[in-house]
Amino acid sequence: MDKFTQHTGVGVPLRRSNVDTDQIIPAVYLKRVTRSGFEDGLFSAWRNDPDFVLNDPAYAGCSVLVAGPDFGTGSSREHAVWALQNYGFKAVVSSRFADIFRGNSGKAGLLAAQVDEKVVQKLWDLLEAQPGATVTVDLESRTVRAGEGPDAIEDSFDIDDYTRWRLLEGLDDIGITLGHADDITAYEQTRPRWKPATLHA
């Protein structure tokens, strides 16, 4: 995984709450067996609407999504994270993420930055007033910044220490865990024999 320290890119205001993973990518797009190519299904139901924000050329090349609360609820599909990444997003800013989505983002290298609801509101207002404006997410200092002058927005975001460290270092989780293989083996020896197994000798 690539290291993530800071990213600056065009921000998109997605003025919706409860954006579940079926909205991010519907089930019919989940038939692929690769991790790429899911951008075609991203927000597919809304992309037909010419007024949908991603269809506005002013936000072309966007890479920071700013969404309402309860983003990524529902299905555990990591395809939702891949679809956002395949489309070009590096970070999602929201006031509340569903647990599984947040976990998946951390594993796949998409930054899920949780901010206060007021910050989302301010970012929406700014990005709508100045389409194409950039947003910076700084993982080192856990801050989100946008705009200039008196209207500039600067606030902190939440991310758990462990995920932050892994993203900053670009570390592979499995590699870390395999470093503790002895602990796993020791644990396995303590399991009671009546625990079920799927294969029988």
Partner 1 sequence: MGATRTARTLAEKVWDEHVVRSTEGEPDLLFIDLHLIHEVTSPQAFDGLRLAGRQVRRPDLTLATEDHNVPTVDWDKPIADPVSKTQVDTLRRNAEEFGVRLHPLGDVEQGIVHVVGPQLGLTQPGMTIVCGDSHTSTHGAFGAIAFGIGTSEVEHVLATQTLMQAKPKTMAVTISGSLPAGVTAKDMVLTLIAHTGTGGGQGYIVEYRGQAIEELSMEGRMTVCNMSIEWGAKAGLIAPDQTTFDYIEGRPEAPKGEDWDAAVAHWKTLVTDDDAEYDKEIVLDAAEMTPFVTWGTNPGQGVPLGSAVPDPASYDDESDRVAAQKALEYMGLEAGTPMREVKVDTVFVGSCTNGRIEDLRLAAEIIKGRTVDPDTRLLVVPGSVRVRLQAEQEGLDVVFKDAGAEWRGAGCSMCLGMNPDTLQPGERSASTSNRNFEGRQGKGGRTHLVSVPVAAATAVRGTLSSPADLA
CB of 90 to partner 1, least distance (A): 17
With respect to partner 1, which residue has the nearer C-beta, 45 or 152? 45
Nearer to partner 1, 37 or 148 (CB): 37
- DSSP one-letter code for 194: T
Residue 18 CB, nearest approach to partner 1 (Å)? 5
Distance CA 57, CA 143 (A): 27
Q: Shortest gap between Cβ of 37 and partner 1 (angstroms)?
A: 12
Instruction: Using alpha carbons, select from 76, 80, 79, 73 the residue that is nearest to residue 96.
Output: 73
- Taking the complex as a whole, the smallest distance from the CB of residue 107 to partner 1 amounts, in Å, to 3
Are 153 and 108 in contact, with CB atoms under 8 Å apart?
no
Considering beta carbons, is residue 149 or 181 the nearer one to partner 1? Answer: 181
Residues interacting with partner 1, by CB under 8 A? 16-18, 20, 22-23, 26-28, 30-35, 45, 68-70, 73-79, 81, 96, 98-100, 103-104, 107-108, 160-162, 173-174, 176-178, 180-181, 183-184, 187-188, 191-199
Could you tell me which of 60, 52, 24, 64 has the C-alpha nearest to residue 40?
Answer: 24
Tell the smallest beta-carbon distance from residue 70 to partner 1 (Å): 5
Nearest Cα to 102, choosing from 134, 78, 133, 138? 78
Give the nearer residue to partner 1 in terms of CB position, either 74 or 132.
74
Cα(66)–Cα(139) distance, rounded to whole angstroms?
16
In the bound state with partner 1, the residue whose beta carbon lies nearer, of 149 and 194, is 194
Phi/psi at 72 (nearest 5 deg)?
A: 85, 25
